[in-house]
Every structure is written in C-alpha cells, then in structure tokens.
Amino acid sequence: MAALSQSGGQTRRASGGLKRPAQIAVLRLWHALLAGGFVVAWATGDENTYALHQFSGYVVLAALVLRALMAAFSPAESLLRWPVLRRQQVMDWLRRGSGRNPLFAGLAVALLLTVAATATSGAVADWMTWMEHPHEAASDVTLAVIFAHVAFVFYQYGGRPWLLAQIRRIKDRFGGKSS
C-alpha cells in the first residue's frame, strides 16, 4: 500500500512534523484499523453478535475522529491532511490523460463520507430505533463504494496488465473462431 503516500489526488511532499516514511506508516496503520473495524462491524450486525458489532462500530467511529485530528494538526503538505479533489486536477487529467488519476482522491473522499455516515447513524441507532433502517441503508451504500475502491486499487496497482492480458486473450480467441 505504498500508494497511501499519494492519497490526496496528487503526490504530497512531507514538510515539518513527521517524516514521510513515518506518515506512510501511520496512514497504513490507520487504514488497517478502519478497514478491519468496518469488516467486523459489517459481519456482526445482527442481534446475536450485537456486543461485538457495537465495539467494532465504535472503533470505526474512533478511527474517523483520530483521522480528523491528524488532518487538523498536520502541516499543509503532510500526507495526513484530508484528501482533496480539485476541479483543476480533474480538468488537467482529462485534458492530458496523464498524472495521478483523480478517482484516487474522489474515492477516498466518498469512502470517508460514507463510512462516517454509517458509523454515526449506528451510534444514533444505539439510542433511537427509527435510525436502524437508515443505518442499514448507509452501510449498504458504503459497501458498494468499498467494492469500487478495492476494484480500482486492484486495477491501478498490478491488476491492469493482468486485466488487459485477459481482454486480449478473449479478443484473440473470438478473432480466431470467426476467421
């Protein structure tokens, strides 16, 4: 996950505060906590496993608060600041077709927002039962964004040559049959 060093839509340089390798290590640890907590919470949503659901759900909520604190107290160029998606960056990427794909930052922002909506609505549902349905719906939307995120990461880091090779093989096979 060396790519976490670039989460933000553009490569960010380290300046002041933690050194760059330490920033990457912190982001990786944080990512493991968030993703691990989310997977456990998602798998334990029903009544029989509610205690574990509550615990892992609050771990996710705490991870988000921690991320907000890191973003607030890190210097401007730090990797630990919030990922941002700028219009100019999207336009440049579309025009030149090169550079960092803006979907990295777009998906990071979408993930942070949907995970936050799921964890917050869960905390409210703990007290107010009418929030259970919106909470379930939020977790479904988040899961879809996570699938898109994992597929995109796979495609960008190593999966693209494999996928293109499969497409070429299929094309060759069909081409071979028709000739």
Query: Rounded distance, CA 13 to CA 134, Å?
Result: 39
**Nearest Cα to 16, choosing from 76, 82, 70, 84?**
76
Spatial contact of 4 and 78, defined as CB atoms under 8 Å apart = no
Distance of CA 140 to the CA centre of its chain: 15
DSSP annotation of 131 reads G
Applying CB under 6 A, among 12, 23, 42, 102 the residue interacting with ligand HEM is 42
Residues in 120-139 at the binding interface with ligand HEM, rule: CB under 6 A:
122-123, 125-126, 132, 135-136, 139
Can residue 7 be called a binding residue for ligand HEM (CB under 6 A)?
yes
Tokens of 177: 């049959």
- Kindly indicate which of the ranges 17-25, 35-43, 89-97, 163-171 contains the residues binding ligand HEM, using the contact rule CB under 6 A: 35-43
b/e per residue, 99-115, with b = 16+ CB within 10 A? ebbbbbbbbbbbbbebb
Asked if 23 touches ligand HEM (CB under 6 A), the answer is: no
C-beta closer to ligand HEM: residue 1 or 144: 1
Backbone φ, ψ for residue 86 (5° rounding): -100, 145
Which residue is nearest to ligand HEM, using beta carbons? Answer: 122
Does 77 bind ligand HEM (CB under 6 A)? Our answer is no
Told to check if 31 binds ligand HEM by CB under 6 A, we report yes
CA–CA distance, 2 with 12 (Å, rounded to integer): 13
Q: Give residues 55-74 in contact with ligand HEM (rule: CB under 6 A).
A: 57-58, 60-61
Applying CB under 6 A, the residues found at the interface with ligand HEM are 1, 3-4, 6-7, 31, 34-35, 38, 41-42, 45-47, 53-54, 57-58, 60-61, 83, 104, 108, 111-112, 115, 118-119, 122-123, 125-126, 132, 135-136, 139, 146, 149-150, 153
